[in-house]
Amino acid sequence: MIQYVNALLASEDPTITHHWLLPETAEIVYGGLASVIVVGALIKFAGPAIKKSFNARTEKIQKELDDAAAAKVNADSDAKNIRAALGDIAGERARMLAEADTQAAAVLTEGRTRIVAEVAELEAKAETDLSAARGRSSDELRAEISMLAALATPVVVEATLTDQTKNDLIEAFITSVGAAR
């Protein structure tokens, strides 16, 4: 075979082509063989790496798909929680409103009770003050009357002391002194 090829090559003029478009047969043979060798070498040496690369890519994509699925699950869970929380917020709002109403009612009741007590206390104090004022007025009136009486008594007594009365008083003095011992 080799001898045939060599003979063929030797019979050919390398500077002249046989066809304007197609290559020379030998070139096709060589090219075909080289292509087979290159393809074989590629399959033999690069195939595993490529296959490994594809497998890794597949795994990565699968992992990403799994992660996405997990994220979706988590998102669903979060959405569920949020929806639940929203429900809770409404309940809490209602509860707080109810509690506020209760507290307001309690404050109102307490305030009313306190005001009633304060009014009663003020009334009692006013009554006490009134009594004290009445007492003071009464005392002041009594003092005024006493003062006027103290001022008026000597005047009245002097006016009623006639000479006869004065003489009677002298006689009474003499009698009482004389009867003393």
Partner 1 sequence: MSSVKVEAYARALFEIAQAEGTLDRVEDELFRVARAFESNEQLRATLTDNTIPTERRQLVAEQLLGGKASDTTTQLVSLVVNSGQVRELPAIIDSLVKRASSEKKQEVAEIRSAVALSADQETRLAAALAKVTGKPVNLKVVVDPSVLGGLVAVVGDEVIDDTVRTRLDQLKTRI
Compute the least distance from the CB of residue 145 to partner 1, in Å. 9
Q: Rule CB under 8 A: is residue 181 a binding residue for partner 1?
A: yes
Closest by CA to 15, choosing from 24, 7, 2, is 24
* In 34-153, beta strands by DSSP E: none
Question: Judged by CB under 8 A, which stretch of 16-24, 102-110, 133-141, 162-170 contacts partner 1?
Answer: 162-170
Q: Rule CB under 8 A: is residue 171 a binding residue for partner 1?
A: yes
Q: Rule CB under 8 A: is residue 158 a binding residue for partner 1?
A: yes
Nearer to partner 1, 10 or 180 (CB): 180
Alpha-carbon gap, residue 45 to 39, rounded angstroms: 10
Give the DSSP H or E segment for 118.
helix 47-160
Sequence-distant (6+) residues with CB within 8 A of 26 are 5, 8, 9, 12
Q: Rule CB under 8 A: is residue 144 a binding residue for partner 1?
A: no
| Interface contacts to partner 1, rule CB under 8 A | 146, 149-150, 153-154, 157-158, 161, 163, 165-167, 169-178, 180-181
